[in-house]
Structure 1
Amino acid sequence: MTDAAVASNDVVLTDRAARKIARILAKQGEGTVLRIVVAGGGCSGFQYEYKLVKEVPANDDLVLSKENATVLIDSLSLEFMGGAEIDYVDDLIGQSFQIRNPNAVASCGCGTSFAVAS
């Protein structure tokens, strides 16, 4: 994880992801942040949702701030994402945010759906 900075609760936002998020947020207007939520559904049981929102962080939100990018993760989602790395990948297949989650025991090819051990 040489391209990353460790944040509280062991969630990591890589430099690549922070730069891309900052570019997206700059086009959205002041006060916009990226909220990542773990929701039920998807091919494998849970899925990541990415939302651009204008809101103040709640008391139980994890706030990741780096390179003019702000990411919010609520406490319930954080239970599923502890130790995860949020990255941005640009390769032959395309561009996307990827979450490498050590809690996921299975995932779908879409990259946003995952399952955890019960």
Structure 2
Amino acid sequence: MIEVTEKAATELKTLLEQEGKPELALRIFVAGVACSGVQYGLALDDEVKEDDVTMESNGIKLVMAKDIERSFSEGSIDYIEDENGKGFLIRNPSAGGGCGTCGGCH
């Protein structure tokens, strides 16, 4: 199961409230592939497709395609604020450790 941390859930609920759309789900999607493995993205979505998997964590509805669930069945979505900025962070313990071709993934 994917966990939405309390901090991320609070930020998401605030965002949904500001948008006036509390019924939206958080969609997890494949945003690309890098030397460290599959990169995931997040988007607010009001549509659940027939082949989607849905779950809930900390009051946030999550949606993803079934093929994503196979490679990202456990992990977390967090919200971070540091000297580099703020935003949502996806952690996937199943992600690969890098291919070694770019020299920057250690």
What's the TM-score, normalizing by structure 1? Answer: 0.66
Count how many residue pairs are aligned between Structure 1 and Structure 2.
97
Structure 2 CA distance for partners of 1:91 and 1:39, relative to 1, 3 Å: closer
Determine which of 28, 41, 56 is the counterpart of 1:64.
56
What per-residue deviation string (whole Å, max 9, x for no partner) do you get for residues 6-29 of structure 1?
xxxx32111111111111112223
In structure 2, the residue matched to 1:20 is: 11
User: Which protein is bigger by CA-based radius of gyration?
Assistant: 2
Counterpart amino acid of residue 3 in structure 2: V
Greater relative contact order, per chain length (Cα 8 Å cut-off, separation 6+): 2
In structure 1, the residue matched to 2:96 is: 105
Instruction: Name the SS of the counterpart of 1:51 in structure 2.
Output: strand
In structure 2, the residue matched to 1:33 is: 25
Within-5 A mapping of 1:76-91: 76-91=67-82
Query: Mind listing any 5+ residue stretches in structure 2 that lack a counterpart?
Result: 99-106
> Percent identity among equivalent residues?
33
Whole-angstrom CA distance in 2 between matches of 1:19 and 1:61: 23
Query: Mind listing any 5+ residue stretches in structure 1 that lack a counterpart?
Result: 1-9, 108-118
What per-residue deviation string (whole Å, max 9, x for no partner) do you get for residues 51-100 of structure 1?
22112464641322424x32222221111112211111112221121122
